[in-house]
Structure 1
Amino acid sequence: MREIQQKIDTMILHLGGYWRPLSGLARLLEEVGEVGGAMRKGSAEELKEELLDVLVISTCLANQYAISLQQQEADVREVTKEQLYFQIVEEAGEVARILNAYEGDKKLKPNRQGESLQLHIEQLQRAVISLGEQCNYELFDSLYALIDEKSTRDFGRFDHTPDPITETSVRTYVTYQSGRYWGGIDPKPFERFDRYMEREKHIERFLKIAHIEGLDGFVIQQSKDGLLYEDGYGYRIPETFHIVEETYENHQFLVIKPQQ
């Protein structure tokens, strides 16, 4: 599954970049509806295409939260195709509930043990794989072919949307440290932390969800005349986080990390 996630990441960057999470969620729900339409019409080829789209878009959402998905096996229990579709709808609804709390207007519950985004994306994908198995589709083989096809055409199809998983800071940092990280834009020379926060909106998102989703840190690539972040520069991160300085070769980073 790691290879699939990497291939989808490369494909999305080729197309222009990730959508905003709520836009990606809208696309996921659209495809889930189209799965239902294909089932109602009895169109086998269309159903296969829509199931592949659900796998791709749900994987995109996982990538945006630095989730390492586990490859799902088909459910061997005796369930009907309709029951599997109901599972897909239910899990897509759970993904929507969580993302609405993370990115939208829904209030974020302080205690959601066992209710991670990863859990529901994996259960969604398991139902998709199970439905494909019942229809005798080789979904993973077809998924590789779909990724290769899209990766060789449609360059720049989507407008670029800045995303904390695609910033140069985090792409550089994870070559030195493994884990689940987001990254920020480059600071301006001698920029105060509060001014940086006005430009880099993703830090607030990170502080909101890092403990719940298990994100390991938010990475800012630093220089000797970069971000001014010590006390007195207009912004203090919550006490449940701390900032560390890390240097690897000629790269310097500030990393906001959750307290253990």
Structure 2
Amino acid sequence: MREIQQKIDTMILHLGGYWRPLSGLARLLEEVGEVGGAMRRGSAEELKEELLDVLVISTCLANQYAISLQQQEADVRGVTKEQLYFQIVEEAGEVARILNAYEGDKKLKPNRQGESLQLHIEQLQRAVISLGEQCNYELFDSLYALIDEKSTRDFGRFDHTPDPITEASVRSYVTYQSGRYWGGIDPKPFERFDRYMEREKHIERFLKIAHIEGLDGFVIKLGRDGLIVPENVEKDLNLPSDFKVTIEVYNTQGYVVIRPKL
């Protein structure tokens, strides 16, 4: 599954970049509806294509939260195709509930055991794989072919949307430290830290979800002519008490990293 996630990440960057999460959610729900339409019409080829699209878009959402998905195995014991579709609809609704809390207007409830985005994306994908098994589709084999086709055919199809998983800061940082990280935008030359914080909109999102989704940190890259970091950056950020700030240097490249406390 790690290889599939990396291939989809490369494909999405080739196409222009990730959608905003709520836009990605809208696409996911659209594809789930199209799965239902293909089943109602009895169109086998269309159903296979729509199931593949659900796998791709749900993996994109997982990538945006630095989730390492576990590959799901089909489980078709005692269930019908219709029941598996109902499972897909139910899990897509759970993904929507969580993302609406993370990205939309819904208030985030206290974390409950088993309520992570990862769990519901994996359960959604298990239902998709199981429905594919019921229909005798080799979904994973077809998935590789679909990724290659889209990468070749649709270059630059989407407008670039800045995303904390694709920023240069996090892409360079994870070459030194493995883990699940988001990254901040590049600072302007000699930019004051408070001005930078006004432009960087993703830290607030990170602080909301880091403990729930198990993110390891938020990375801000320090350029030679870049960010002017105050002496007490932790106080300047006004962080919640369950977060801390570290300054790390690797091969002369410096980073400010906001981390959840264990």
If the TM-score is normalised by the length of the shorter chain, which range does it land in? over 0.9
The one-letter code of the counterpart of 1:255 is V
Q: Cα distance, 1:234 vs. partner?
A: 5.0
Change in Cα spacing, 1:229 to 1:62, as seen in structure 2 (3 Å) is: farther
Could you tell me whether the CA contact under 8 Å between 1:246 and 1:253 is conserved in 2? Answer: yes
After TM superposition, list the pairs within 5 Å mapping 1:74-223 onto structure 2. 74-223=74-223
Q: Cα distance, 1:224 vs. partner?
A: 4.6
- How many residues are paired up? 260
Confirm whether residue 259 of structure 1 aligns to residue 253 of structure 2. Answer: no
- Provide the rounded CA distance (Å) in 2 between the counterparts of 1:136 and 1:43: 14
Return the match for 1:245 from 244, 247, 254: 247
- Provide the rounded CA distance (Å) in 2 between the counterparts of 1:82 and 1:227: 58
* Unaligned segments of structure 2, at least 5 residues: none
Could you tell me whether the CA contact under 8 Å between 1:189 and 1:227 is conserved in 2? Answer: no
Could you tell me whether the CA contact under 8 Å between 1:7 and 1:147 is conserved in 2? Answer: yes
Q: Cα distance, 1:239 vs. partner?
A: 1.7
CA-atom RMSD in angstroms: 1.3
Q: Normalised by the size of structure 1, how large is the TM-score?
A: 0.97
Q: Cα distance, 1:236 vs. partner?
A: 1.9
Q: Cα distance, 1:144 vs. partner?
A: 0.2
The one-letter code of the counterpart of 2:176 is Y
Could you tell me whether the CA contact under 8 Å between 2:55 and 2:125 is conserved in 1? Answer: yes
Report Cα offsets for 1:165-224 as digits up to 9, x if no partner. 000000001111111000001122343332112111001110111011110000011135
Report Cα offsets for 1:59-85 as digits up to 9, x if no partner. 000000000000000014110000000
Could you tell me whether the CA contact under 8 Å between 1:28 and 1:58 is conserved in 2? Answer: yes
Q: Cα distance, 1:107 vs. partner?
A: 0.6
Q: Cα distance, 1:152 vs. partner?
A: 1.3
Q: Normalised by the size of structure 2, how large is the TM-score?
A: 0.96
Report Cα offsets for 1:219-252 as digits up to 9, x if no partner. 0111355232433885422221111011111321
Report Cα offsets for 1:101-120 as digits up to 9, x if no partner. 00001110123221100000
- Provide the rounded CA distance (Å) in 2 between the counterparts of 1:136 and 1:70: 22
The one-letter code of the counterpart of 1:105 is D
Could you tell me whether the CA contact under 8 Å between 2:173 and 2:219 is conserved in 1? Answer: yes
In percent, how many aligned pairs have the same letter?
Answer: 87
Confirm whether residue 54 of structure 1 aligns to residue 54 of structure 2. Answer: yes
- Provide the rounded CA distance (Å) in 1 between the counterparts of 2:155 and 2:94: 32
